[in-house]
Amino acid sequence: MPKTLFDKVWDQHVVTELENGQTLLYIDLHLVHEVTSPQAFAGLREAGRRVRRPDLTYATMDHNVPTDNPHHVVDLIAKKQLETLAENCRDFGIRLADLDSPHQGIVHVIGPELGLTLPGKTIVCGDSHTSTHGAFGAIAFGIGTSEVEHVLATQCLWQARPKTLKVELTGRLQPGVFAKDVILALIAKYGVGFGTGYAIEFAGDFVRGLSMEGRMTLCNMSIEAGARAGLIAPDEVTFAYLQNRPHAPRGAEWEECLRLWRELSSDEGAVYNKVVQMDVSLLEPQVTWGTNPSMGGSVHSLLPEVAAPNSAFSQQDLQNAYAYMGLSPGMSMLGVPVQHVFIGSCTNGRIEDLRLAAALVEGRRVASHVRALVVPGSKQVKQQAEEEGLDKIFQAAGFEWREPGCSMCLGMNPDLVPAGERCASTSNRNFEGRQGRQARTHLVSPAMAAAAAIAGEFVDVREWMQGKELNRVGSIQPA
Ligand SMILES: CC(C)[C@H](C(=O)O)[C@@H](O)C(=O)O
Ligand code: SF4
């Protein structure tokens, strides 16, 4: 029987199945960070257990790291979590990319760039955006702290098999529109629940033309559509990205892996539980205006009326969102002033994102009322960007150039948006309080964020995509 990509990878990892549908899955890679691991390790200590496969476990520090001065951790909870992770990794023999490591960074950025993330693997982490790693043809999903303990102790995990949803994306994006806009538009169209109970496979000619960075952005936000995981069949783009990465296989082993990885795509005629299609050709740059990722749309569209018939949102939800965001029905996001711009996170803190943003801001100045941050997703992204001179371009334009970490994506470190202020953010969540108490978050692509920083308000970045900007964008021209 023809199988989907998801079925192939899942079936290769089944240890045993129960009649109630629960499957014991073998886990190939367990990524760990400071926030969701302390109790898991405490549980191991209490039970006198060891980590079953320290060699399949890899830890980093990201959420709590102060990006202006990583070693200067003032917050006591943050300090304790970082110290505890270091101690746990030492005691249990786990590799750790600590603050001094050249490999430190956001867990979902470093997994791929170190070649730990590979096609066909099962990958878990105590973090919802683990779905990012599915861009390589892995089954990757977030788990809770008790599950982290279970994986540490056994290298296995009980899971219910999700249903499969194929999202078929066709067409070519206009210049100035990116993978981030595609996933925001999908969520705006189908809602934050459309992936609930499913693993989403992104397929179609648009996906095949996309860089690994773009694919990771899609998979990263599948969780915001409610999905358990997002995945994409690996191809030559995937293999080219992975070759010679520090932990990627080499020599004869690499060749053997390629042979196996080339089988990792959905068979002709494979049946999905649900299929959704979208042509991306006419998509416009997206901005969220509300307090969940589905409350968004084109930067030109008018914000919905509270009493509109057939609205996807309840009146109460809309009223709450408008009150929180300081916006009103009937207006558009064009021209709405921003006080903060954040370029970074596991959604859009990769080298391609920074190249694009730098191309747009080169020779321009951040608006005087805007505080703009660029936070590379990892030390390696930072180093690469500096080798290319992107840091100089950002700083000359008035951006702050920071050390890697989750930063302003969430309020667990000093990079906060003050109450009532507005931020154009390349991250993935816009819930109330996400970037600080009463902070107002608008999710956008790196290009839209860069343009908002310069203009001081939301603009349509397509108008900025001519001439010199495109030259610098070079290989990362929209697919
Ligand atoms: C802190 C962590 C548990 C959380 C997650 O699981 O996603 C964070 O990374 C986030 O993005 O909200
Ligand atoms: S960058 Fe944001 S979304 Fe990603 S892991 Fe960190 S906090 Fe979570």
Q: Whose CA is nearest to atom 2 of ligand 2?
A: 409
| Residue 177 to residue 181: CA distance in whole angstroms | 6
Residue 415, φ and ψ in degrees, nearest 5: -85, 90
Domains (range + CATH), the chain:
5-274 (3.30.499.10), 286-476 (3.30.499.10)
ipTM: 0.99
| Residue 400 to residue 467: CA distance in whole angstroms | 26
127 lines ligand 2 (CB under 6 A): yes
| From 79-93, 149-163, 190-204, 457-471, the region with the lowest mean pLDDT | 457-471
129 lines ligand 1 (CB under 6 A): yes
427 lines ligand 2 (CB under 6 A): yes
36 lines ligand 1 (CB under 6 A): yes
Q: What is the pLDDT of residues 193-209, one digit of tens each?
A: 999 999 999 999 999 99
Count Cβ atoms below 10 Å from residue 239 Cβ, excluding itself. Answer: 17
Is 473's pLDDT higher than 90? Answer: no
Structure tokens at 277: 């299609």
Residue 149, φ and ψ in degrees, nearest 5: -60, -40
Q: What is the pLDDT of residues 104-126, one digit of tens each?
A: 999 999 999 999 999 999 999 99
pLDDT at 474: 39
Full-model pTM: 0.97
Measured from the alpha carbon of residue 406, the closest ligand is: 2
For residue 471, report the distance from its CA to the centre of ligand 1, in Å. 36
337 secondary structure, DSSP code: B
For 322, the 3-state DSSP assignment is helix
How buried is 128 (Cβ within 10 angstroms: 0-12 exposed, 13-18 middle, 19+ buried)?
middle
33 lines ligand 2 (CB under 6 A): no
Binding site: residue ranges?
Answer: 346, 406, 409
Among residues 29, 236, 218, the alpha carbon closest in space to that of 112 is found at 29
Best residue among 62, 124, 129 to mutate for probing ligand 1, ranked by most atoms within 8 Å of CB: 129
All residues at 6 or more sequence positions from 325 whose CB lies less than 8 Å from its CB, including other chains: 289, 290, 291, 440
Structure tokens at 74: 């003032």
Strands 122-125 and 296-298: unpaired
Tell me the pLDDT band of 467, cut-offs 50, 70 and 90.
Answer: low
31 lines ligand 1 (CB under 6 A): no
* Residue owning tokens 């490591």: 101
Buried b (16+ CB within 10 A) or exposed e, 97-123: bebeeebbbbbbbbbbbbbbbbbbbbb
